[in-house]
Amino acid sequence: MNLNLDGKKALITGASRGIGRVIAQKFAAAGAKVAVHYNSNRAAAEETLNSLPDTGHIIVQANMSSADEVEQMVAAAVETLAGLDILVNNAGVFEAHPLDTVDYATWQAKWQKIIQTNLLGAANASYCAARFMIEQGGGRIINVGSRGAYRGEPESPAYGASKAGMHAMSQSLAKHLGPHNIYVTAVAPGFVQTEMARESLRGASGDEIRAQSPLHRVAAAEEVAHTVLFLAAPGSEWLTGGVIDVNGASYLR
């Protein structure tokens, strides 16, 4: 299969670090022009930008929980890149809020922040990108979900719910946008070796997490990014509506 994105324009949210940064690098290496999104860490976004091969890549900023900022972000990417072929909804937050230990105000605040960022932010970006893609005659939307949508996230139920919603949204949009030649897929990683997972992967808890997979490790960001690149490349159209597990057999469904 040819994983070539020559001439494609891609917006990757949450691309200042972690999985998003590696997705941006793989897309650029495959020939795409990339819009690197960040929320608050401009310096990290510039590090990502400077790591990309070739020229023509840009940085865009938005708080994903703000509908107006998301709209402006997509518009800036479309205008500066002179088009948009691929949207990767990767930006997300994970914050613990176990029901039996947090107060009611904290419970509500965590749910609002996580759902607004992880799910509504992705929904709004998808809307804005898809409206442009319909006009241009096609495109791709790839959503970075989580195995937590199926396995459950007892310490952060809002995170699990946000990712379950993202998977369902992917399937709904795949049906609605298929006639417009817009293909929508999702990936559902398990633990990945990133800054977000660093604390969880230390000490005994890290050993337990690695033991969940018969490979006795967690994923490298490159492995998740490779799957996203596969879904963005020509030839993967028939996977539209699919949610691809990328968890090293740590959770089977």
- pLDDT at position 201: 79
> What secondary structure does DSSP assign to 160-176, as a single string?
HHHHHHHHHHHHHHHHH
Report d(CA 126, CA 141) in Å as an integer: 7
- pLDDT at position 25: 98
Among residues 38, 150, 159, 183, the one annotated as catalytic is: 159
Q: Which percentage of the chain shows pLDDT scores above 90?
A: 92
**Model confidence band, residue 202 (pLDDT cutoffs 50, 70, 90):** confident
Domains belonging to the chain, first-starting first, are 9-246 (3.40.50.720)
Structure tokens at 151: 């396995």
**Model confidence band, residue 195 (pLDDT cutoffs 50, 70, 90):** confident
Q: Report which of 169, 164, 220, 165 is spatially closest to residue 197, judged by C-alpha positions.
A: 220
pTM of structure: 0.96
- pLDDT at position 12: 98
The answer to whether residue 159 is catalytic is: yes
